[in-house]
Structure 1
Amino acid sequence: MEARDVMTPDPACCSPSDSVKDAAALMANNDCGEIPVVDQSGALVGVITDRDIACRCVAQGKPADTRVEDVMSSSLVTVTADEGIDDCCKKMEDSQVRRLPVVDEEGKCCGIVSQADIARHADEKETGDLVREVSESTEEAASAGCC
């Protein structure tokens, strides 16, 4: 099974200059916790998560019109549509992320694979391993030699 078999295709995206309020509205309207951030050509330049908004905007007292680029996560871990689910799980576990943008050969976002997508399609052991590894605290991961 490949990423294309489980991913959410054509996710809602925003631009770096959009407001955090607009990104949050996209999350609410699309029932998701991460929005890919793309440049004018459609290339993926980052992601903004509900956690980015809570920790880097709201908790710091920044206004709702703060630009996405000021709070987004720009160190990206991505997969291609033809990568296997095992590779997706490994990348999620190694990076301790719950979602991976799927990019095409031009670096444009064409989907997202989430932990939930994998849980709906993978066997119970693989799903359990993924949840456990992604949820491991950074300190535990560092002491285990993962980071």
Structure 2
Amino acid sequence: MDIQSVMTANPTCCTPQTTLREVAQLMRDKDCGEIPVVDAQRRPLGVITDRDIAIRAVAQGIDTTATVSDYMTSPATTVSEDSSLAQVVDVMEDQQIRRVLVVDARGVVAGIVAQADIARAGGDSRTAEVVKQVSQPGSH
């Protein structure tokens, strides 16, 4: 199975200059927990997650008018759009991440695959293994 059949295509993105408030509103409106941070050509620079906003910014007392650039996770972990679902799972397990960006041949964000997408597409034993490996305490 390829990732194009399970990924969310053409995800909403933001720029490093987007404010934390604006990106939080995007997450609310799009019902997602991660937004790719891209340059003018939609090449990934990083990602901003709801956890980045809550733990790195709000819990530290940072004003929500601060920009994404100071709180995003960079660089973003990416896979190519011709990757197999098994390859994506391996990356998620190795990096212990719950979401991975999918880029096209030009390096432009084409989609995003979340742990939930794997759960819907995979068998019960494979899903359980992904959840276990991603959730392991590690050095990340």
Give TM-score scaled by structure 2 length.
0.97
The answer on whether the counterparts of 1:7 and 1:117 sit within 8 Å (CA) in structure 2 is yes
Letter in structure 1 aligned against 2:73: S
Please state how far the C-alpha of 1:43 moved relative to its aligned partner. 1.0
Deviation >3 Å, runs of 4+: none
Tell me the C-alpha RMSD between the 2 structures.
1.1
The 5 A counterparts of 1:76-87 are: 76-87=76-87
* Alignment-derived partner of residue 103 in structure 2: 103
* Alignment-derived partner of residue 20 in structure 2: 20
Structure 2 stretches lacking a partner, 5+ long: none
The answer on whether the counterparts of 1:3 and 1:80 sit within 8 Å (CA) in structure 2 is no
Q: Deviations over 1:22-65 (max 9, x none)?
A: 11111111111000001112111110001110111101111011
* Alignment-derived partner of residue 90 in structure 1: 90
Give TM-score scaled by structure 1 length.
0.92
* Alignment-derived partner of residue 134 in structure 1: 134
In structure 2, distance between residues paired with 1:4 and 1:41 = 21
Q: Is it true that 1:74 corresponds to 2:79 in the alignment? A: no
In structure 1, distance between residues paired with 2:76 and 2:14 = 16
In structure 2, distance between residues paired with 1:77 and 1:68 = 17
% identical aligned pairs: 46
